[in-house]
Structure 1
Amino acid sequence: MTIGGEAIQHQRHQLRLLRRAVALLLCMAIVIAALGVTAIRRDAEALLHQDVLSELLLWGAVLVVVVVALVGTYSVMADFLFWEGWLNGLPNPAHLFAAPTADDRGHRHYLVYLDGIHQSEECHPPRVSEFLETLEEAIEADALLVKGIEAYTIMPVGLRATAYARWFWERLFALQEHHPNGFVRFLSAFCVQANNVIKVGISSDRRYGPVMNYELALKIARRLEAIGFHPSRAARVVLVGYSGGGEMAIGTAAMLQKLCHVPVQVITVCGVFSGNGDLSSVDHVAMVVGSRDPVAALGRLAYPGRLPLLPLSNWNRWQRTRSLHRISIEGMNHNGASGPFSVAYRAKVVREIVRELELTSA
């Protein structure tokens, strides 16, 4: 996209000022947080007395607020630093799929799994891995399941391997996994969750969402290219998004379709999404939901654009011209022992996904 020279210079000047202000605020927040943690550790025994327990809770709340502010600022600024070219810039999409590669497997359908906000690295937790193995065995031979894409980072690697913030995330993961204090482990895990939740929020935002969704679409397209995908052979790409991954899938679908030059469809599993994304060129969206899933139900209320009260929202306009497949599984919850990855419901969810693939097969 080309804009006037004066306008772009003004925008860059404003962005530089914003970066400096954010950097200063980050430094101040880090110092305050460090002092707070030191004070709590030094006076831990005193603070645990009943008469000052409220003070401990107050300090904990303050630290959580500081951490969320830091992680939120990181999430937003990382996207725009990447967009502005500070992190080696955006790859030129014109170079994607320049020439067909040798692929004897003959895959025509590519399923891309996007995990929920619990994802902290490219490898999946054991329950999710078992679910994906079951799905991989159930799909046809000409379909390929693409795993290990971290939907909440813009770089081709996970948080732990990002060159510009590796030291921070490695330290955070080390605290989460090995620190003897349970509160520190909880706070470290909370940071990762906060980053992912904020990314879901950005994706659903009409102003900044298209930037991050395009970056994620380009990341997925590059992964597809690396494993042998080419538009001349492929029939479609299917984005399977669990929980917050449903928002990332719906927000990314139309842009990924333009990059890959094949139809893209979306299947959400217990999806939490806004419906603000541009779905005008996407023909197929299916929702696999649980009858006892309060998180997905709350997500619909949190995003009023999915309610019939706003008939001009992107989601409602799409539904008037397309057919939404809503598949309800009785008794299924959002996660845990009765979630979609549990032994009780794993096979049912896989069966519904495969059935949807067969119904919409080109």
Structure 2
Amino acid sequence: MTRSNAVIHGHRHSIRLGARVLIGVLVLVGILMLIGVGVVRRDAASLLQSGSLLELLGVSGGAIVVVLALVGVYSVMVDFVFWEGWMQSFPDASGLFVGNEEKQSSHRHFLVYLDGIHQSEENHPPRVQEFLNCLESEIDNDSLLVKGIEAYTITNVGLRAASYSRWFWQWLFSLQEHHPSGFVQFVCAFCIQANNVIKVGISSDRRYGPVMNYELALKIARRLEALGFHPSHASRVVLVGYSGGAEMAIGTAEMLQKLCCSSVQVISICGVFSGNAALESIQDVAMVVGSKDPVAAFGRLAYPGRLSLLPLTNWNRWQRTHSLHRYLIDRMSHNGSSGPFSVAFRQQVVAAICRELERSLVSSSPG
């Protein structure tokens, strides 16, 4: 091993060790803070008093705020580490699609599904999987639906199998699934989804977003390469993003278009997105929205760049030169029994996606 390789190997080992120590310390501090209140209040009955409950809630709330802030810093650091090539899995984009001329796929349209913040592994929840099966049966024979893209991790695996933090996420998932306390299960599920929410926030950020969006674009491009995609044969790539996945799709679209040398289209389902991403070269963006979706409505307020009061934002500049197509589904909400994956609205969402695919294909045809 050369001296430079030894130095890089040392950096990798130090970063991994430091991340593990940091997370372990955070977990230990949080537990000690929560137990500390109980130690001070020696008898269990005193914990039921209003003053003790307020103290416990205050300590718990403070611990959660600190942990979320540090998780956000950790997420940015992991992206930086990956970008700098300090992880062995850093992929090279220069050889994409080389050699695929001989084994290219017969499909010309590739639909890539990006899930919402509930996603924690490559496999989709049953209700989402049923929706994707329905969509797959309705699209044309020359279209291929690409599933199982983990939009909130750097590598091609879910949180459980991420090489740099596998031990922590497996421990958290184990607590979520098997711990007898419902409160502990809730906290663990909250932490998992908080990681994905932070990733959505990073994607919308003008400083760090391009780094993470490029990583996701490269991940999608490599999956398409494995499926036989080649720019000389493929007609387009369609990114279908649900909820926070819409932000990942819009943030990734232009970079993916450059990597694939093929047009990219975006379809959001109950999308929560900022509109901060560069969209100058993206021709088609469509939104499938529910009339009773409070989450998507709040997302528009949370990201003021989509408001018409700010005409110079990326989103509003794009809309002045392009047509945004909206498909409104009456009485549909964001999730659950009235969400887009429910039996009540699944078919309508699939029909809206198929109408948009057909419309954009006709509008892009010559003559």
Match status 1:32 vs 2:29: yes
2:174 is matched with: 174
| Inter-partner Cα distance in structure 2 for 1:273 and 1:159 | 23
| Inter-partner Cα distance in structure 2 for 1:31 and 1:194 | 19
| Inter-partner Cα distance in structure 1 for 2:37 and 2:137 | 51
Matches within 5 A, 1:133-144: 133-144=133-144
Shift of 1:101: 5.3
| Inter-partner Cα distance in structure 2 for 1:40 and 1:150 | 39
Shift of 1:68: 1.3
| Inter-partner Cα distance in structure 2 for 1:293 and 1:160 | 31
Q: TM (normalized to structure 1)? A: 0.90
1:84 is matched with: 84
Deviations 1:300-337 (A, max 9, x none): 11111111111111111111111110111111101111
1:15 is matched with: none
Structure 2 regions of 5+ residues with no counterpart? 1-14
Q: TM (normalized to structure 2)? A: 0.88
Cα RMSD over matched residues? 2.3
| Inter-partner Cα distance in structure 1 for 2:46 and 2:272 | 39
Q: Is the 8 A contact 1:176 1:184 kept in 2?
A: yes
1:45 is matched with: 44
Shift of 1:102: 5.0
Q: Is the 8 A contact 1:47 1:55 kept in 2?
A: no
Structure 1 regions of 5+ residues with no counterpart? 1-17
Secondary structure of the residue that 1:93 maps to in structure 2? coil
1:247 is matched with: 247
Amino acid aligned to 1:318: W
Matches within 5 A, 1:89-168: 90-100=90-100, 102-103=102-103, 106-168=106-168
| Inter-partner Cα distance in structure 1 for 2:279 and 2:158 | 27
2:7 is matched with: none
2:268 is matched with: 268
| Inter-partner Cα distance in structure 1 for 2:144 and 2:16 | 42
2:4 is matched with: none
Shift of 1:165: 0.5
Q: Is the 8 A contact 1:117 1:196 kept in 2?
A: yes
Secondary structure of the residue that 2:241 maps to in structure 1? strand
| Inter-partner Cα distance in structure 2 for 1:46 and 1:78 | 44
Closer/same/farther in 2, CA of residues 46 and 216 from structure 1, 3 Å limit: farther
Closer/same/farther in 2, CA of residues 181 and 325 from structure 1, 3 Å limit: same
1:315 is matched with: 315
Amino acid aligned to 1:136: E
Amino acid aligned to 1:92: D
The count of aligned residue pairs is 345
| Inter-partner Cα distance in structure 2 for 1:149 and 1:341 | 18
| Inter-partner Cα distance in structure 1 for 2:299 and 2:159 | 26
Deviations 1:201-229 (A, max 9, x none): 11111111101000000011011111111
1:353 is matched with: 353
% same residue: 66
Closer/same/farther in 2, CA of residues 227 and 219 from structure 1, 3 Å limit: same
Shift of 1:90: 3.4
Match status 1:74 vs 2:74: yes
2:335 is matched with: 335
